[in-house]
A and B are shown apart, each in its own frame.
Chain A
Amino acid sequence: MRTAQQHWWAHAIAVLIILWMPNALAHVQKGEAAGLLIGFLHPISGLDHVLAMVAVGLWGAQLGAPAIWVLPLAFPLVMAMGGMLGFMGVPVPGIEYGIAASAILLGAAVAFEVRAPIVIAALLVGFFAVFHGHAHGTELPPGQSALLYSMGFVVATGCLHAVGIGIGVVHRWTWGQRLLRAAGAAVAVGGVFFMWKAVG
């Protein structure tokens, strides 16, 4: 009997707590935050993109100023041109090959510590940026805000560059230089894997 009374009060308290729940505000207006998040996750969720973007940061760190900031500055702009072509439905041939090749060549540039002139480095990075941007642009999910999706993947790409530059800080030490070259080799091997997948 006593147990039954205890249950009654427990139920009543539970009901009261449920009725006094604050407003949920669970709806995102027009799915906008979702668009930003999807855009942000797009470069991060693909290892091929991650490898190439981090390699850009690593190479910039190896080359030092002004490449360390010119490359992350130029890359989003050229990538946006590729993304614009993707949004407009303009086909670019060999997207997957281009992305895999970017990881191979940028990884190799880091592995061999290639001291390219800034113009050559920017042109190489910019060329591959078109492929990455086009891949992002063509994969805009239906119903999402194009602007927020774009901002999401541009910011994510910039963050990946920053990760590369952050890792590249170790370049000031001899062991760090070896570590960076090893990381570049790992990126290149990853690129070979993605190229093999693209061809197969």
Chain B
Amino acid sequence: MKDPRESRLPSCALIVFSFALCSESAEAHLNSSGMGPIYDGLMHFLTSPEDLIPALALALLAGLRGASYGRQALFTLPVAWLLGSLLGLAAAVTSGGAVLSSFWFLLMGGLVAADAKLSSRVMFALAALLGLYHGYFNGTGMGQSLSAILAVFGLALAVFVLIALAAAFVVQLRAHWARIGVRVAGSWIAASGLLLLGWAVRGS
């Protein structure tokens, strides 16, 4: 007597095989599925600590200084980032190097840790330089297509959102210990910059 399960095994296998052949590609990697150019730009900023951390430090610094500084940084940094990126689209250089990245970590982290009492003009210059520098190197290598321009707008949008959230969070902090906590975060950023510098020196 033949087991009925055995007789159905080939048909089961055939069904499984048919489904397996008809299955769609997994697209497990985001670079194959894509998220659209604006989201690509946005995600590039959010997943690049070399860009994200100095911008976050500027937001913390502006927040420590107060709401007016926060508003200034909110518009200066994204606009400078956007301009820098658009300028960089035509450039051939693809990276500013780890030494310069570590400089921004050290500078911005050090200013936050020291709770530096910067004037409004200095803060404006700092935000503009930071945005132009990082934007320029973000823009390089993207090409000059429409999707590259849209990605650049995504980058600037991400910068705007980060500054808005982080600066607003720090501005409303009143407790002394909370402001100290922000300064400690600044010392962590500066320390990371120092370590990045060591790594860059070793690499060179």
Residues 121 to 163 of chain A near chain B (Cβ within 8 Å): 137, 146-148, 150-151, 154-155, 158
Looking at chain B's contact residues, the main secondary structure is helix
The distance from the CB of A89 to the nearest CB of chain B, in whole angstroms, is 6
Contact B184 A80, beta carbon cutoff 8 Å: no
User: Which of A4-12, A40-48, A182-190 binds B?
Assistant: A4-12
Contact A4 B192, beta carbon cutoff 8 Å: no
The distance from the CB of A196 to the nearest CB of chain B, in whole angstroms, is 31
- A147-B8 contact in complex given A19-B23, A85-B198, A88-B198, C-beta closer than 8 Å: no
- A15-B19 contact in complex given A4-B5, A29-B47, A76-B191, C-beta closer than 8 Å: yes
Q: Does B187 contact A (CB under 8 A)?
A: yes
Contact B196 A154, beta carbon cutoff 8 Å: no
Contact A80 B192, beta carbon cutoff 8 Å: yes
- A69 to B27 Cα, complex, angstroms: 48
Please give, as numbers and ranges, the residues of chain B lying within 8 Å of A84 by CB-CB distance.
Answer: 194-195, 197-198, 201
- A102 to B180 Cα, complex, angstroms: 25
- A69-B183 contact in complex given A84-B198, A87-B199, A88-B202, C-beta closer than 8 Å: yes
A24, A73, A87: the one within 8 Å of B28 (CB)? A24
Q: Does A1 contact B (CB under 8 A)?
A: yes
The distance from the CB of A198 to the nearest CB of chain B, in whole angstroms, is 25
Please give, as numbers and ranges, the residues of chain A lying within 8 Å of B201 by CB-CB distance.
Answer: 84, 87-88
Please give, as numbers and ranges, the residues of chain B lying within 8 Å of A69 by CB-CB distance.
Answer: 177, 180, 183-184
Residues 17 to 35 of chain A near chain B (Cβ within 8 Å): 19, 23-27, 29, 32
Please give, as numbers and ranges, the residues of chain B lying within 8 Å of A88 by CB-CB distance.
Answer: 198, 201-202
Chain B residue at minimum C-beta to C-beta distance from A72: B184
- A83 to B193 Cα, complex, angstroms: 11
Contact A158 B194, beta carbon cutoff 8 Å: no
Please give, as numbers and ranges, the residues of chain B lying within 8 Å of A25 by CB-CB distance.
Answer: 28, 30
Contact B188 A81, beta carbon cutoff 8 Å: no
Contact B180 A87, beta carbon cutoff 8 Å: no
Query: Which of B19, B27, B33, B47 counts the most A-chain CB atoms under 10 A from its CB?
Result: B19
- A26-B113 contact in complex given A12-B15, A77-B191, C-beta closer than 8 Å: no
Interface residues on A, range: 35 or more
B8, B184, B195: the one within 8 Å of A137 (CB)? B195
Contact B16 A151, beta carbon cutoff 8 Å: no
Contact A24 B16, beta carbon cutoff 8 Å: no
Contact A80 B199, beta carbon cutoff 8 Å: no
Q: Does B26 contact A (CB under 8 A)?
A: yes
Residues 47 to 89 of chain A near chain B (Cβ within 8 Å): 69, 72-74, 76-77, 79-81, 83-89
Chain B residue at minimum C-beta to C-beta distance from A22: B26
Contact A73 B187, beta carbon cutoff 8 Å: yes
Residues 1 to 33 of chain B near chain A (Cβ within 8 Å): 4-5, 8, 12, 15-16, 19-20, 23, 26-30, 33
Chain B residue at minimum C-beta to C-beta distance from A147: B196
Please give, as numbers and ranges, the residues of chain B lying within 8 Å of A81 by CB-CB distance.
Answer: 194
B5, B8, B30, B184: the one within 8 Å of A73 (CB)? B184
The distance from the CB of B121 to the nearest CB of chain A, in whole angstroms, is 27
Contact A151 B5, beta carbon cutoff 8 Å: no
Please give, as numbers and ranges, the residues of chain A lying within 8 Å of B202 by CB-CB distance.
Answer: 87-89
Contact A24 B47, beta carbon cutoff 8 Å: no
- A148-B187 contact in complex given A24-B28, A80-B195, A84-B195, C-beta closer than 8 Å: no
- A154 to B188 Cα, complex, angstroms: 6
- A110 to B184 Cα, complex, angstroms: 22
